Amino acid sequence: MLSIPLNYRPDADAMIIGVGLMGQHMAMHVVDWLGLRKLVLVDHSPTIAVGMEKTTLADFAASISAASVSNVDVVAETVDVTDENDMRRLFERHPGISYLQHTAGISPKPLTPPEDLTKDDVMRACEVNLWGTHNVLKQGVRHGGFAKNARGVIILSTSATVGAEGRASAAYEESKGGLLNLLKLQSRHFVETHGLILNGLAPSPLRGTMSAQNEISAGRLQAVEDAMPLGGLTAPSHISAATMFFWSGDCWCVGELLTIDGGYTKHKPIYGPLPSS
């Protein structure tokens, strides 16, 4: 067996907030990857889409537990991340989380020009994407939610954090820009004051079932795939691999943002013969 140069805590508790494509892939693998004692799956809805099928969050949690080779407790929690009491009670029920992956977010009115958005569109995006994340961190550090030197990963977005394009939801991008500042400017405070080690991931668009059913979104995703230097699109497995890197005890990063985009957003130089002198 190969020796893997990464280490993790044994019998730890992990929490995944946002059980969509990224959260589901992580949930289906992380129990056995880490030998977890408990996995807490948190979503705003008691019903989630797994592939093309609808299932309850509780049934999905039960399927994770049944498929695992570990004796793990997988718990489903329906919580509003914007509600302070909801989040406080969540961490009171599940204290001492060692690993956090936060993917929850909304993207109101995609492909809509900024001038056509309403105040409610922008403020709702900020409430969920920025305040919701702030609230998770606030309630976690105040109510014993995190173990000492816990490791958290916040999922941002390439369009917001790298500034490579503005074709998604302007409200989403603006709120995620604030979230980037929260990560960058407050991460040292969280590790020094509360022992919470925060980093972030910025993935390019994934192909989900909803986007595949929408002609405009499907066309946009195809355009991204066509311009991807590594080929294909970002997949949930890429997000899980990057999360595991940030969760490792050997990861010497605080407040860093790792772009997971196959090179899509990197500068494309123009090569060819130089003009003759």
C-beta separation of 22 from 236 below 8 A: yes
pLDDT tens track for 189-241: 999 999 999 999 998 877 765 555 566 667 777 777 888 888 888 899 999 99
Give the pLDDT confidence of 10-62 residue by residue, as tens digits. 999 999 999 999 999 999 999 999 999 999 999 999 999 998 899 999 999 99
Q: Which residue spans within 36-166 are E strands per DSSP?
A: 38-43, 47-50, 53-56, 73-78, 97-102, 146-155
How many angstroms separate the CA atoms of 159 and 234, rounded?
14
What is the 3 state secondary structure string of 60-72?
Answer: HHHHHHHHCCCCC
Could you count the other beta carbons within 10 Å of the beta carbon of residue 126? 18
79's CB contacts (< 8 A; 6+ apart) are 17, 42, 43, 44, 86, 87, 90
Identify residue 120 by its one-letter amino acid code: D
How confident is the model over 165-169, as a mean pLDDT? 59
Cα–Cα distance for residue pair 99/155, rounded to 1 Å: 14
Mean pLDDT rounded to a whole number for the chain: 89
Judge whether residue 163 has pLDDT over 50.
Answer: no
Residues in CB range of 243: below 8 A, 6 or more apart: 26, 101, 153, 201
pLDDT tens, position by position, 233-275:
889 999 999 999 999 999 999 999 999 988 888 877 777 776 6
What does the pLDDT read at residue 94? Answer: 98
- Ordered domains of the chain (ranges, CATH): 13-260 (3.40.50.720)
Q: Given pLDDT bands bounded at 50, 70 and 90, which one contains residue 73?
A: very high
pLDDT tens per residue, range 15-28: 999 999 999 999 99
Q: How far is Cα of residue 262 from the mean position of the Cα atoms in its chain?
A: 17
Helix axes 57-67, 21-34, angle to 10 degrees: 30
